[in-house]
Amino acid sequence: MVNVKMFKLLGVMLAVMLIVWAISPFLRHQPITNEIMATAIILILIAVAYFIILFNPSWTKAVFFFEGIVIGVSGYMLLAHPYNIGFAIVGIIIVLIAVLAYLQKLPPSILKWFYR
């Protein structure tokens, strides 16, 4: 049986891996493009959000809302045409889910992930 400490350790390892993956193009001296910047921003913020949710589960809704805004705005501003619309739509969907979770208007099977 896996205990909570093991899940937290695996979560920390995943967040660190996401941060390393995000900064690796900068460390390898690759040319910095808008796609690399957007990917790095999104991966680092997902890792930070994962840290926050891991150690303070009551902040899940707020972090989810913030992540939706960041994914939508950074994807829309930094990526080329077909991809920026997709990231903006994904960001709007994430923000809507977070707002519905605040209002407790989601089905109970989804709300259990926001209220632990």
The vertex-4 CA angle with 61 and 96, nearest 5°, equals: 15
Supply the pLDDT for residue 25: 92
Q: What is the pLDDT of residues 45-70, one digit of tens each?
A: 889 988 888 888 888 888 888 888 88
Supply the pLDDT for residue 2: 59
And the tokens for 107? Answer: 């089905």
Neighbours of 46 (CB within 10 A): 19
For residue 3, pLDDT beyond 80? no
Percent of the chain topping pLDDT 70: 96
pTM: 0.74
Supply the pLDDT for residue 28: 92
For 52-109, give the DSSP string: HHHH-GGGHHHHHHHHHHHHHHHHHHHS-HHHHHHHHHHHHHHHHHHHHHHTT-S-HH
Q: What is the pLDDT of residues 67-100, one digit of tens each?
A: 888 888 888 888 888 888 988 899 999 999 999 9
Domain borders along the chain are 4-111
Give the pLDDT band (50/70/90) at residue 21. Answer: very high
